[in-house]
Amino acid sequence: MASSRVLYVHSDDYVRTCDSMARLPHRASMVHLLIKAYGLLKFMRVIAPRMASHDDLAAFHSDAYLSHFELVSREGEDADLPESQQYGLGYDCPVMEGVFEYAAAVAGATLTAAEGLRNGVCDVALNWAGGWHHAKKDEASGFCYVNDVVLGILKLREQFQRVLYIDFDLHHGDGVEDAFSFTPKVVTLSFHKFSPGFFPGTGDIAEVGLGRGRFYSINVPLSDGIADEKYVDICHSVLQAVNTTFLPEAVVCQFGADTLAGDPMCSFNLTPKGLGQCLQIVLGWQKPTLLLGGGGYHLANTARCWTYLTALVLDQVLASEIPEHQFFPEYGPDYVLEVTPGCRSDTNNPAHLDQVLAEIRENLKHMA
């Protein structure tokens, strides 16, 4: 990638705001400081994010939700207000004081990245602190308060006729799929764990979209233990088929890192190398591409993964040794960039994966 054509959305304020999200302590700093420690910033155009305005957020979210969310965030009120429940606030989406500012900052960063692509300033734009794919029009969900992914796609749609969304997170990208399930202008493609009782519970292969959007939602349900080789194989097959059929003009990828070996979600057994091979396929299409983060609860492995993917975009090879920097101790005991796959067995049987692929190919025939 011609490096000056890569936009990296960052400011120290933005990282501090993202770090404040208690459930992911310092993850934003760990990601940024590892990218910096590997000397990758000089290859990118670093741009400070703008804050999303109320109108920006209202492009997708309802006024009722936004004003309630803003109210409880300002009051820092515990969210057992009756209406908080209906807006998904509380429990999975705790209302910490200032959480609205956090959500507006992340949405603004994803919009800043998308605007760079929309205006042709860059070919690839990165916002690793974005990717909150569960948030609904009028409801917070799964630790997601504002759906920055939907806002970014809507921004790209101002310029591009057809946008392909690819969700590599462990969890189904339900909020994004819901937002675009009725339109053929946006294909949502999600690879995720699909298992009884596993959050959010949607994303079965039979979910293909509705009305004029029928066959423009694609779901690849997977089971525990899948490792790089099989994951890359099915990704490659589905990505190539979707690209040649839908012919997207722009691509948005959510690279939630909770699929990695060692993640507390303890489900898939991927490594950054496997996700990197999936990213290489997308970059090979040479289309304006927005890269976002998402889940990822082993903080050091998440930083390893997104740093590795950033280097891949920049055609830079990174040394295995983690460079000395503030969070160096977090990378013990081996202090290397690579993530070692676990030894859990793969419960995905090949015949079933072939069946999944065949059904997706069949559905693609209906894509006009």
Ligand X SMILES: O=C(CCc1ccccc1NC(=O)c1cccc(C(F)(F)F)c1)NO
How far is the C-alpha of 120 from the C-alpha of 112, rounded, in Å?
12
The partner in contact with residue 199, picked from ligand X, Zn ion, none with C-beta cut-offs of 5 to 8 angstroms by kind, is ligand X
Residues 322-351 binding Zn ion (CB under 5 A) are: none
Nearer to ligand X, 92 or 229 (CB): 92
Contact window for ligand X (CB under 6 A) among 102-110, 122-130, 294-302, 311-319: 294-302
Q: 315 a known binding residue?
A: no
Local structure of 279: helix, strand or coil: helix
Question: Looking at 100, 295, 313, 353, which residue binds Zn ion (CB under 5 A)?
Answer: 295
174 binds Zn ion (CB under 5 A): no
Token code pair at residue 38? 């590997």
21 binds Zn ion (CB under 5 A): no
Residues 76-95 binding ligand X (CB under 6 A) are: 92
Point out the residues that are catalytic.
134
- Mention every residue, 6+ apart, whose C-beta is less than 8 A from residue 188: 165, 167, 173, 176, 177, 180, 181, 216, 217, 218
Query: Cis peptide before 329, with omega less than 30 degrees from 0?
Result: no
How far is the C-alpha of 139 from the C-alpha of 179, rounded, in Å?
12
- Residues facing residue 249 across a β-bridge: none
Contact window for ligand X (CB under 6 A) among 41-49, 236-244, 268-276, 293-301: 293-301
Binding mask 241-260 for Zn ion (x = CB under 5 A): ---------------x-x--
- For the chain, the straight-line distance linking the first and the last C-alpha, in angstroms and rounded, comes to 32
The footprint of Zn ion on this chain (CB under 5 A) covers a number of residues equal to 6
Question: Looking at 171, 193, 230, 287, which residue binds ligand X (CB under 6 A)?
Answer: 171
Question: Looking at 170, 275, 322, 339, which residue binds Zn ion (CB under 5 A)?
Answer: 170
- DSSP letter for 213, please: G
Binding mask 236-265 for ligand X (x = CB under 6 A): --------------------x-x-----x-
305 binds Zn ion (CB under 5 A): no
User: Among candidates 286, 240, 295, 305, which has minimal Cα distance to 117?
Assistant: 286
Degrees (nearest 5) of the Cα angle 190, 193, 197?
125
User: Among candidates 178, 183, 189, 11, which has minimal Cα distance to 106?
Assistant: 11
The partner in contact with residue 227, picked from Zn ion, ligand X, none with C-beta cut-offs of 5 to 8 angstroms by kind, is none
Q: For residues 280, 286, 287 and 291, what is the CA-based torsion angle, rounded to 10 degrees?
A: 30
294 binds ligand X (CB under 6 A): yes
Cβ 112 to Zn ion, closest distance in Å?
23
Helices (H) and strands (E) in the chain, counts: 12, 8
Annotated binding site for substrate: 92, 142, 297
Note the residues at the interface with Zn ion (CB under 5 A): 169-171, 256, 258, 295
Residue ranges at the known binding site for a divalent metal cation: 169, 171, 258
Q: Which residues bind ligand X (CB under 6 A)?
A: 23-24, 92, 134, 142-143, 169, 171, 199, 256, 258, 264, 294-295, 297
